[in-house]
Chains A and B, each alone.
Chain A
Amino acid sequence: EAGVAQSPRYKIIEKRQSVAFWCNPISGHATLYWYQQILGQGPKLLIQFQNNGVVDDSQLPKDRFSAERLKGVDSTLKIQPAKLEDSAVYLCASSLRGGLGNTIYFGEGSWLTVV
């Protein structure tokens, strides 16, 4: 079974530039998550989708971050304009249906460096 796919794996941009990350979840998984993992910290949930609807985006900095999952399958996370503090690993994850006790599978992450 294919895992959660993410691209690009690595990206270096200058501050105030924009960047987009793509995620393709495990086939059939209705729930998709984007997490931000800053070096030395645990991952923090940015946004959760159930199919193509947003369940939780309370920690998404909406002035610069946006995410979409238009057809309920793959998803894109965009940052515009980027700040130095956005340097982090952006993890995409998916689960079959969401809900307590449901196993969440993570991708390998997209490493962003803002200079």
Chain B
Amino acid sequence: GNSVTQMEGPVTLSEEAFLTINCTYTATGYPSLFWYVQYPGEGLQLLLKATKADDKGSNKGFEATYRKETTSFHLEKGSVQVSDSAVYFCALSDRGDDKIIFGKGTRLHILP
């Protein structure tokens, strides 16, 4: 079945550091890929998405590129801020089925 695997946390970085959170997926079709973010005490928010191979999703300085050959959708940011501290979820939705399957989440702590 379809699944998402993302790196375990917590990830702790200093402010202005470079961030990578790895995500790989398994899917039978051609899924859309997503990154969701959950700030403390808040609901899940869509951060970015990509719907086909080689697409790059971007938002708030975050980027992720849909790599079909490596079945990956790694999240990157060049310079993180304290306000980026949150839990990040990689997710997929298969063609013809909008049920979203989430990874387990990666908690990110940014130190000032």
A contact residues vs B (CB 8 Å cutoff): 3-4, 31, 40-45, 48, 56, 91, 93, 95, 98-109
Contact = CB atoms under 8 A, between A and B. Distances in A.
A102 B89 contact: no
B43 A109 contact: yes
Contacts of A40: 104-105
Given A42-B105, A100-B93, A101-B32, A91 B44 contact: yes
B100 A98 contact: no
B98 interface: yes
B22 interface: no
A105 B42 CA distance: 12
B43 A102 contact: no
Contacts of B41: 108
Interface of B: 4, 32, 36, 41-46, 49, 51, 89, 91, 93-105
A82 B91 CA distance: 29
A31 B95 CA distance: 17
Contacts, number: 59
A29 to B, nearest CB: 13
| 5 pairs of A and B residues whose beta carbons are closest in the complex | A42-B102, A106-B44, A108-B43, A106-B43, A42-B104
8 contacts: A31-B98, A43-B102, A91-B43, A100-B51, A100-B95, A104-B98, A104-B100, A107-B43
Contacts of B100: 43, 45, 104
Contacts of A31: 98
Contact of A100 (B42, B44, B98, B101): B98
B43 A41 contact: no
A4 B44 CA distance: 11
A92 to B, nearest CB: 9
Contacts of A41: 104-105
Nearest to B93: A100
A48 B43 contact: no
A104 B46 contact: yes
B104 A100 contact: no
B22 to A, nearest CB: 15
